[in-house]
Amino acid sequence: MSRLPHSTPSAGGNAAGLSSGVARWLSLAAAPTFAAMAFLTAGGAPSDMICAMHGASMFGGMVPMYLLMSLFHAGPWLRLVAGAEGSARRG
């Protein structure tokens, strides 16, 4: 069996920092994306553009799902706001 090489702090430090920064920005992108999709679906955007069924109630399918997904992905935004609020109180 082969073992994966361990990265040294000088070689892997930048890559780890970059990947955690990308992951943080991606986690912040999820909630607004799902909120925008809910808004577009509720607003009557073309069905083929957003994968909705023709003739279905806008509150019976995709809109509630997008809103719930937006709420489930709101954690990073709440942590960001709580961190900013906490640093304002300390300073």
Is residue 8 included in any domain, yes or no?
no
∠25-17-86 over CA atoms, to 5°? Answer: 60
Under 8 Å between Cβ of 66 and 35? yes
Range of the domain at 48: 30-90
- Using the structure block, give the residue that is written with the tokens 């679906």: 41
Within-domain flag for 23: no
- In 43-91, alpha helices (H): 47-50, 62-72, 75-90
- pTM score: 0.56
The pLDDT score that the predictor gives to residue 78 is 92
Quick check: is 63 in a domain?
Answer: yes
Q: What pLDDT, on the 0 to 100 scale, is given for residue 74?
A: 93
Name the band, by pLDDT with cuts 50, 70 and 90, for residue 13.
low
Pairwise pLDDT comparison (14 vs 47), residue with the higher score? 14
70 or 11: which carries more pLDDT confidence? 70
Total of domains in the chain: 1
CA distance 70 to 38: 9
- Is the pLDDT confidence value at 51 over 50? yes
